């Protein structure tokens, strides 16, 4: 007699997030689905619904992980050094272009339905502001810096600025920004 045992993963939620990240890199956000993620981890087709209500919820979990990683990267560089912050931010974005795009909004339907994602973005900005020493002027310089870094990262990811010249472009732009009168 053959007894079929129920599949038990251990940490299915984490496995699904990792599978979704792989799918994101391979296929973009449109290629991520609960079905594809569950197929990668070998669980039943009903299993992911205990952790994620739909594809957007899975993508949000991936984006939240990305924000945590970017925040850690920004916290790990020299405080108050605009160039170091720029390199850290751009390095993360260019090493993880699909994840970076997802964090910026690509592929998630109703972002307003996920306040934790808005909070993660707010914390990312707060970390950037804190690292440039903007405790008394939240938003001013840090928003300008974020716009510059996001724009440059997006231009490189989209192929409008050569990846090989991004360091020179970043250095030039960050030097202009750092020297701009307040």
Could you count the other beta carbons within 10 Å of the beta carbon of residue 160? 9
The pLDDT value recorded for residue 10 is: 78
Measured distance CA(116)–CA(112) in Å, rounded? 9
pLDDT value at position 101?
95
Distance separating alpha carbons of residues 49 and 57, to the nearest angstrom: 10
pLDDT per residue as tens digits for the range 102-153: 999 888 988 899 999 999 999 999 998 888 876 566 557 888 888 989 999 9
Do 161 and 86 have their domain in common? Answer: yes
Does residue 40 surpass a pLDDT of 50?
yes
Residue 16: CATH number of its domain:
1.10.10
CA atoms of 92 and 14, how far apart (whole Å): 21
Number of domains observed in the structure of the chain: 2
Q: Say yes or no: 142 and 172 in one domain.
A: yes
The Cα 60–Cα 114 span in angstroms is 8
Whole domain around residue 86: which residue ranges? 63-179
45 in a domain, yes or no?
yes
């Amino acid at each position: 007699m053959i007894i079929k045992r129920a599949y038990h993963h251990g940490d299915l939620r984490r496995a699904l997030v990792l599978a979704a990240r792989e799918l994101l890199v391979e296929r973009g956000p449109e290629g991520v689905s609960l079905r594809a993620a569950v197929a990668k981890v070998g669980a039943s087709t009903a299993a992911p619904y205990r952790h994620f209500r739909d594809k957007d919820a899975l993508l949000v979990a991936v984006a939240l992980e990305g924000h945590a990683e970017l925040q850690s990267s920004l916290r790990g560089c020299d405080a108050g050094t605009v160039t170091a912050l720029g390199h850290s931010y751009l390095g993360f974005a260019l090493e993880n272009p699909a994840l970076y795009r997802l964090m910026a909004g690509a592929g998630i339907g109703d972002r307003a339905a996920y306040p934790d994602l808005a909070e993660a973005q707010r914390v990312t900005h707060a970390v950037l502001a804190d690292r440039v020493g903007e405790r008394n002027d939240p938003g001013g310089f840090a928003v300008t810096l974020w716009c510059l870094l996001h724009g440059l990262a997006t231009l490189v990811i989209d192929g409008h600025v050569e990846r090989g010249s991004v360091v020179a472009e970043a250095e030039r732009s960050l030097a202009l920004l750092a020297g701009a009168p307040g």
